[in-house]
Amino acid sequence: MDKSFKSILIAGLVTVFMGSCANSQNVCSYQLDAKKFDTVINKKPVHLFTMKNNNGMEVSITNFGGRIVQIIIPDKNGNKQDVVLGYDNIQQYYDIEKYGGSDFGAAIGRYANRINKGQITIGGKQIQLPQNNFGHCLHGGPNGWQYAIYDGKKENDSTITMSIVSPDGDANFPGKVEAKVTYTLTSTNALDIQYEATTDAETVINMTNHSYFNLNGDPTKNIENCILYVNADCMTPVNRTFMTTGEIVKMAEDDPFNFLKPKAVGKDINADNEQLKFGMGYDHNWCLNTYKDGVGNDKEIAASLWSPITGIRLDVYTNEPGIQVYTGNFLDGTAKGKKGIIYNRRAAICLETQKYPDTPNKPDWPTANLKPGETYKSHCVFAFSVSKGL
Ligand code: BGC
């Protein structure tokens, strides 16, 4: 081949390739190596499980903590973007001492969010749970299910299940609990997550998924440009220790926490507002309008997020009464994630469907109690699409 023709051809191919990659961190040429997740922890096998559909969506989950490691979605130009934070190997998830703990993508249990001073009373008995966050119990304590090995199974091309048996007294929670998380990838680019649990003695359960979303597909930059909608008139304020005060506050139209009219995450995030100062940004529970008279409507949108860069949109549906919106305020550049990207403050946002925080100590709020013979059922759908806005 003529040399100059060859170099023009190569230059052309490079241009086409670069053109199809919207940003330098594009995932076009990036594949997770499943072998880097194959290991044995506490005598249990750990793997990476992947589902793909015919619309270009791909979801990879490890049974270490039932964690979503990667979600790939085609953007407005058809380029594939990875929209969640995480690591590309099991060591970084597991070796907390070396890499720092993280909840990236995890199936949190037994109790997502905070329990005041780690104290609950069940059947008249006061129980002290681990206190791992400002004196409170956060996400089930330091050994929550996000650090446990689930039994992972790829049921079929579009379903992965993660099951766990948590013994009576696990982190001091009473009752032997058997829980199962079912992840289903639909043909319409939704990731449907069903949680189910049973117990042999009265206990509390509140599970959630802790994915850190960056719909820009570029975690080198923060998500303050993303547009957020939260279908909630009220939120639950916190004190200086991130513990809910027990109040339910209705938000005025100009309240920085009011996202009924979609606005950029960063629009008011630095406003002179006590709650934003206490939370170091958004790290609060919103009381969803989709939950009425004890029933959650998982057909109506609970929250939406949209990236003006990629056009990728995420709609969240749930039967739960609350959603914790956490803008990654504690990410501090310590975690070096997939592709060696350092995760700085607000590199992502979590949309955690759940009960209101500390419900075991708030008898008037939708209960998290589970008794023998009952089945805990929680539903969360992360539906992805491409749109021109919210
Ligand atoms: C909490 C944050 C916490 C984070 C850790 C969120 O659900 O609200 O305060 O830092 O989880 O994963």
What is the Cα–Cα distance from 275 to 283, expressed in whole angstroms?
A: 9
Is ligand 1 within 6 A of the CB of residue 283?
yes
What is the Cα–Cα distance from 382 to 190, expressed in whole angstroms?
A: 6
Which tokens is 347 given?
Answer: 């590199």
Is ligand 1 within 6 A of the CB of residue 324?
yes
Count of residues making up the chain: 390
Is ligand 1 within 6 A of the CB of residue 65?
no
Q: Which domains does the chain show, CATH number per domain? A: 3-210 (2.70.98.10), 217-372 (2.70.98.10)
Residue type, 143: N
Q: What spatial distance separates the first Cα and last Cα of the chain, rounded to whole Å?
A: 51
What is the Cα–Cα distance from 10 to 41, expressed in whole angstroms?
A: 46
Atom 12 in ligand 1: residue holding the nearest Cα: 103
How many whole angstroms from 238 Cα to the centroid of ligand 1?
13
Atom of ligand 1 nearest to the CA of 279: 9
DSSP H or E run through 312 = strand 312-318
What is the Cα–Cα distance from 205 to 227, expressed in whole angstroms?
A: 31
Which tokens is 324 given?
Answer: 């914790």
Q: Which is catalytic among the residues 210, 253, 300, 320? A: 210
Mark whether 352 is an active-site residue: yes
Residue type, 297: N
Is ligand 1 within 6 A of the CB of residue 103?
yes
Atom 6 in ligand 1: residue holding the nearest Cα: 326
pTM for the model stands at 0.93
Question: What sign has the CA pseudo-torsion 314, 162, 182, 323?
Answer: negative
* pLDDT for the residue numbered 30: 61
13 backbone dihedrals φ, ψ, rounded to 5°: -65, -40
Instruction: Yes or no: say if 182 and 159 are a contact pair by the CB < 8 Å rule.
Output: yes
Q: Which is catalytic among the residues 58, 136, 320, 352? A: 352
Is ligand 1 within 6 A of the CB of residue 147?
no
How many whole angstroms from 326 Cα to the centroid of ligand 1?
7
* pLDDT for the residue numbered 316: 99
Conformation bin of residue 333: beta by default, left when phi > 0, alpha when psi is -120 to 50: left
How many whole angstroms from 85 Cα to the centroid of ligand 1?
14
Is ligand 1 within 6 A of the CB of residue 134?
no
Atom of ligand 1 nearest to the CA of 102: 12
Mark whether 178 is an active-site residue: no
pLDDT in tens, the chain (390 residues): 444 444 444 444 443 444 334 444 444 446 899 999 999 999 999 999 999 999 999 999 999 999 999 999 999 999 999 999 999 999 999 998 888 778 999 999 999 999 999 999 999 999 999 999 999 999 999 999 999 999 999 999 999 999 999 999 999 999 999 999 999 999 999 999 999 999 999 999 999 999 999 999 999 999 999 999 999 999 999 999 999 999 999 999 999 999 999 999 999 999 999 999 999 999 999 999 999 999 999 999 999 999 999 999 999 999 999 999 999 999 999 999 999 999 999 999 999 999 999 999 999 999 999 999 999 999 999 999 999 999
229 backbone dihedrals φ, ψ, rounded to 5°: -125, 130
What is the Cα–Cα distance from 66 to 148, expressed in whole angstroms?
A: 8
How many whole angstroms from 114 Cα to the centroid of ligand 1?
9
Is ligand 1 within 6 A of the CB of residue 242?
yes
Instruction: Yes or no: say if 83 and 60 are a contact pair by the CB < 8 Å rule.
Output: no
